[in-house]
């Protein structure tokens, strides 16, 4: 395992290579499908501010082949406590850093048991790394036609990524903070929400709290709604866990706002997401509610589309888990048109 506390290199050569890589990324329909602006950067966040109620420690994990790098930012309460702390592991960590602010961190730090926040992102300055998350967050390989009618095969790396979290990220977090192993939570949005569910299905003891927001149940022609879910529902042995499924109201009714139907990429994406009904997450919550050992809550956010659900669901997760003020009502505009992280 390779760890680093240094900021990423920002020299001209690196910038030029990054621009070239992003140009290649934009050439793929899957990158476009993930978000409308694949080049959006993080900008200034709490990670760049002086530590007040929380301090941030950073480390980087390399894949065995040295081809992938995960950047992990760990928010640790500034006031040390001898009591083990609950911990929230959050996917799309770069985007989550943009959701946090000092007042929210101060409120978390004031709790009786302030949580440790683990932001798992990628070692770049992108808000969302579409190609990387598509590979890591999906348990099924997706084979679908792009806008040119050419079949693309992507995804399928969720099991390997969960191994990275369990065997490499968690031990490093636990070296830096005193963690309560009975209060571990996993949050994810969109493809990240799908990863939360596949983790629940395959390793339900890895976390005690699973928070899945706007899960991409359409992935691979609805494969997440197939055999793996059915086997979990039928063969669960009572492993206790609390599960939250969250969905935007506009998502549930299939309102995806105005789309340019003359754009073949848009048409290809809409064809792909037809693999599941818009209300599939709501229906899934009902089925999971019958699984022994699971406590399942479904929450719908009136009027919200897919993109605004990222900050709204993360704020809601902090409220549900740690009792801080629920800020989700202040996130985004009530619209179905933003699919920023589908």
Does the pLDDT of residue 14 top 70, yes or no? no
pLDDT tens-digit readout, 30-51: 333 345 688 899 999 999 999 9
Taking each helix axis as running N to C, give the angle between helix 227-235 and helix 191-202, from 0 to 180 degrees, rounded to the nearest 10: 40
Whole-number mean pLDDT of the chain? Answer: 84
Does the pLDDT of residue 156 top 90, yes or no? yes
* Residues linked to residue 298 through DSSP beta bridges, in sequence order: 245
Q: What average pLDDT does range 19-36 have in this prediction?
A: 39
Of 26-35, 176-185, 331-340, least confident by mean pLDDT is 26-35
Active-site residue flag, 189: no
Of 167-171, 305-309, 338-342, least confident by mean pLDDT is 338-342
Domains and CATH numbers, the chain: 12-330 (3.40.50.1820)
Using CA atoms, how far apart are residues 42 and 20, in angstroms rounded to an integer?
19
- Specify the pLDDT at position 268: 58
pLDDT tens-digit readout, 193-220: 999 999 999 999 999 999 999 999 999 8
pLDDT tens-digit readout, 92-120: 999 999 999 999 999 999 999 999 999 99
Q: What average pLDDT does range 55-66 have in this prediction?
A: 92
Catalytic residue among 130, 212, 214, 251: 251
Q: What average pLDDT does range 63-70 have in this prediction?
A: 86
Does the pLDDT of residue 55 top 50, yes or no? yes
Catalytic residue among 190, 198, 214, 216: 190
Does the pLDDT of residue 337 top 70, yes or no? no
pLDDT tens-digit readout, 241-265: 999 999 999 999 977 666 656 665 6
Q: Tell me the pLDDT band of 332, cut-offs 50, 70 and 90.
A: low
Active-site residue flag, 3: no
Helices (H), the chain: 12-26, 29-34, 93-99, 102-109, 130-136, 158-164, 170-176, 191-202, 219-222, 227-235, 249-252, 264-272, 280-288, 309-322
Q: Tell me the pLDDT band of 176, cut-offs 50, 70 and 90.
A: very high
- Specify the pLDDT at position 151: 73
Active-site residue flag, 269: no
Q: What average pLDDT does range 61-90 have in this prediction?
A: 93
- Specify the pLDDT at position 67: 80
Catalytic residue among 198, 212, 269, 306: 306
What is the total residue count of the chain?
342
Tell me the whole-structure pTM to 2 decimals. Answer: 0.85
Phi, psi values for residue 178, rounded to 5°? -85, 105
Taking each helix axis as running N to C, give the angle between helix 227-235 and helix 280-288, from 0 to 180 degrees, rounded to the nearest 10: 20
Residue 330: burial class (beta carbons within 10 Å; 0-12, 13-18, 19+): exposed
């Amino acid at each position: 395992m390779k760890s680093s506390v240094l900021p990423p290199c920002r020299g001209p050569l690196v910038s030029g290579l990054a621009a070239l890589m992003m140009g290649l990324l934009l050439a793929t329909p899957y990158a476009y499908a993930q978000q409308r602006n694949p080049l959006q950067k993080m900008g200034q966040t709490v990670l760049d501010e002086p530590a007040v109620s929380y301090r941030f420690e950073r480390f980087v994990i390399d894949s065995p082949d040295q081809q992938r790098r995960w950047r992990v930012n760990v928010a640790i309460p500034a006031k040390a406590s001898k009591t083990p702390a609950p911990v929230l592991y959050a996917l799309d960590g770069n985007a989550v850093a943009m959701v946090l602010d000092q007042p929210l961190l101060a409120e978390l730090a004031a709790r009786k048991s302030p949580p440790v926040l683990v932001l798992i992102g990628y070692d770049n300055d992108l808000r969302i790394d579409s190609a990387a998350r598509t590979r890591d967050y999906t348990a099924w390989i997706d084979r679908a036609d792009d806008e040119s009618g050419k079949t693309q095969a992507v995804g399928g790396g969720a099991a390997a990524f969960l191994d990275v979290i369990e065997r490499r990220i968690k031990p490093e977090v636990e070296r830096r903070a005193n963690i309560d192993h009975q209060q571990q939570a996993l949050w994810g949005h969109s493809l990240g929400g799908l990863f939360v569910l596949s983790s629940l299905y395959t390793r339900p003891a890895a976390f005690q709290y699973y928070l899945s927001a706007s899960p991409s149940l359409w992935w691979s022609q609805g494969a997440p709604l197939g055999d793996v879910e059915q086997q979990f529902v039928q063969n669960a042995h009572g492993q206790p866990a609390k599960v939250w499924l969250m969905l935007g109201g506009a998502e549930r009714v299939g309102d995806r706002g105005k789309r340019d139907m003359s754009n073949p990429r848009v048409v290809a994406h809409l064809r792909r997401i037809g693999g599941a009904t818009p209300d599939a997450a709501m229906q899934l919550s009902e089925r999971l509610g019958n699984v022994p050992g699971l406590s399942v809550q479904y929450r719908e956010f009136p009027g919200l589309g897919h993109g605004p659900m990222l900050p709204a669901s993360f704020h809601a997760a902090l409220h549900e888990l740690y009792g801080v003020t629920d800020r989700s009502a202040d996130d985004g505009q009530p619209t179905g048109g933003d699919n920023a992280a589908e």
